[in-house]
């Protein structure tokens, strides 16, 4: 029986290939190996601690600048650009350093980048205020434009996933909020309807964009932070929709527009499930029908947050993305608790509803397992 091969080092491999005449330029290959070997890779736990430390350092550094009086209102924009440039210089230096110095330089780079972008946005708003004497709504739009500009300019040069995610979340949040508050201030019953339709439009647009970024094969993982930011914004919109559904003064005014996110999320969940099985046309059997009926019932009797959370959980399990699955499970728990709490029943009735829901889900699972077993037996026969 052959013995397992012993581990071989890169140098030994080069020597073996050179001895067999398989290397045309052995000296050049050795130089390239020596140049690119800068030590062992930084462990994952150390990277996580580095991110946490960088966030804390960013907050304390910004606080130090504010207390020390170094910050000048007229120089926020320029000082922010200087900090961003210094952050890029540290990032370049980190690529040429050993692992320990690399961690230090990356932490400092993230800190300077975060503080620099905050100063840039503040200076951007101040500049627009000096030019156009903005009101509060105008300042929010200026901040939205500044955050978007800072995000676009620093997205590719800086490979910080957390920075990309926070910047994208901030832009989407400010953009959505600025659009809603830009509506005219009126006590008319039409304004809640208009606000609900705008939120529905954002819900649909954000879901389409997130699905495109996550499901399209040609989209690089470079844009995953944007997709995760879209997901978090969708969860925020789902929270707002759930809150509006339980406001007494809005219930007589709002109609189908308050339920529309349920059907959008339900259709998205059906599309995701069909994408997982290669299309319902190829899998149009009793199992697919049970799944479709279950999703329709969830859309009719629950809220968009529950459907969206199930969608995240399914997508995370499909694509082995633990972070998405974790977000899905956490949000599903929260939305289920909120939905159960908002039911207009007595505590005893709520208990029966909870028991019935659990029995229904258990029955659906048994039915699906039975259908899968029958399908496998028929295929074997």
Same domain assignment for residues 160 and 246: no
- Quick one: 125 and 158 in the same domain? yes
Q: Which of 147, 182, 217 is the last residue of a domain?
A: 182
What six digits make up the tokens of 309? 């959370």
Residue 254 shares a structural domain with residue 228: yes
pLDDT on residue 25 = 61
Q: Which two tokens stand for residue 37?
A: 């070997």
Within 13 Å and on the Cβ side, how many CA atoms surround 255? 3
In the prediction, which pLDDT does 364 show? 64
> Are residues 256 and 209 part of one domain?
yes
The domain tally of the chain equals 2
State whether 72 and 212 are in the same domain.
no
* Same domain for 196 and 175: no
Residues 155 and 246 in one domain: no
**Residue 191 and residue 183: Cα distance in Å, rounded?**
8
The C-alpha angle with vertex 79 and arms to 73 and 83, in degrees rounded to 5, equals: 145
Say yes or no: 217 and 252 in one domain: yes
| Residue that terminates a domain, selected from 158, 182, 206 | 182
Q: Within the chain, which residues score under 70 in pLDDT? A: 1-48, 50, 70-74, 132-137, 184-189, 245-255, 276-288, 360-361, 364-365, 367-369, 371-381
d(CA 208, CA 169): 16
Tally the C-alpha atoms within 13 A of residue 131's C-alpha that lie toward its C-beta: 9
User: What's this model's pTM, rounded to 2 decimal places?
Assistant: 0.74
Rg (CA), the chain: 27
Tell whether 123 and 88 lie within a shared domain: yes
Q: Are 238 and 275 in contact (CB under 8 A)?
A: no
Distance (Å, whole) CA 341 – CA 348: 13
CB neighbours of 374 closer than 8 A, spacing ≥ 6? Answer: none
Encode pLDDT of 70-102 as tens digits. 666 667 888 889 889 999 998 888 888 777 788
The CA distance from 281 to 145, in Å, is: 44
As a whole number of angstroms, the distance between CA 224 and CA 106 comes to: 21
Domain that holds residue 334: 188-344
pLDDT at 10: 59
One-character DSSP codes across 1-14: -PPPPPP--HHHHH
Domain for residue 370, yes or no?
Answer: no
């Amino acid at each position: 029986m052959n013995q397992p091969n012993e581990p071989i080092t890169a140098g030994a491999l080069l020597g073996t290939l050179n001895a067999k005449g398989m290397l045309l330029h052995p000296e050049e290959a050795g130089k390239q190996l020596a140049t690119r070997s800068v030590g062992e890779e930084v462990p994952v736990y150390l990277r996580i601690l580095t991110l946490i430390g960088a966030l804390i350092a960013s907050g304390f550094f910004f606080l130090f600048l504010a207390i020390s009086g170094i910050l000048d209102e007229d120089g926020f924009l320029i000082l922010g650009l200087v900090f961003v440039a210094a952050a890029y210089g540290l990032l370049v230096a980190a690529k040429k350093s050993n692992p320990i110095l690399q961690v230090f330089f990356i932490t400092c780079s993230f800190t300077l980048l975060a503080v620099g972008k905050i100063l840039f946005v503040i200076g951007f708003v101040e500049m627009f205020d000096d030019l156009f004497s903005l009101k509060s709504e105008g300042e929010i739009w200026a901040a939205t434009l500044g955050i978007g500009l800072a995000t676009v300019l620093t997205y590719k040069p800086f490979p910080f996933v957390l920075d990309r995610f926070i910047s994208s979340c901030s832009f989407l949040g400010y953009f959505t909020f600025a659009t809603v508050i830009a509506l005219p201030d009126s006590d008319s019953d039409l304004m809640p309807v208009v606000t609900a339709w705008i939120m529905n439009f954002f819900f649909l647009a954000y879901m389409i964009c997130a699905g495109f970024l996550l499901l399209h094969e040609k989209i690089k993982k470079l844009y995953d932070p944007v997709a995760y930011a879209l997901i978090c914004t969708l969860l925020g919109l789902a929270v707002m929709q759930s809150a509006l559904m339980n406001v007494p003064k809005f219930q007589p005014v709002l109609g189908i527009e308050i339920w529309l996110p349920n059907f959008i999320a339900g259709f998205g969940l059906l599309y995701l499930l069909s994408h997982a099985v290669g299309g319902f046309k190829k899998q149009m059997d009793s199992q697919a029908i049970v799944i479709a009926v279950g999703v329709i019932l969830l859309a009719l009797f629950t809220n968009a947050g529950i459907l969206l959370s199930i969608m995240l959980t399914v997508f995370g399990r499909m694509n082995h993305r633990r972070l998405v699955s974790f977000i899905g499970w956490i949000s599903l728990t929260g939305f289920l608790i909120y939905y159960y709490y908002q039911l207009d029943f007595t505590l005893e009735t709520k208990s029966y509803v909870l028991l019935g829901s659990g029995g229904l889900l258990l029955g659906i699972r048994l039915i699906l397992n039975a259908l899968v077993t029958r399908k496998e037996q028929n295929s074997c026969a």
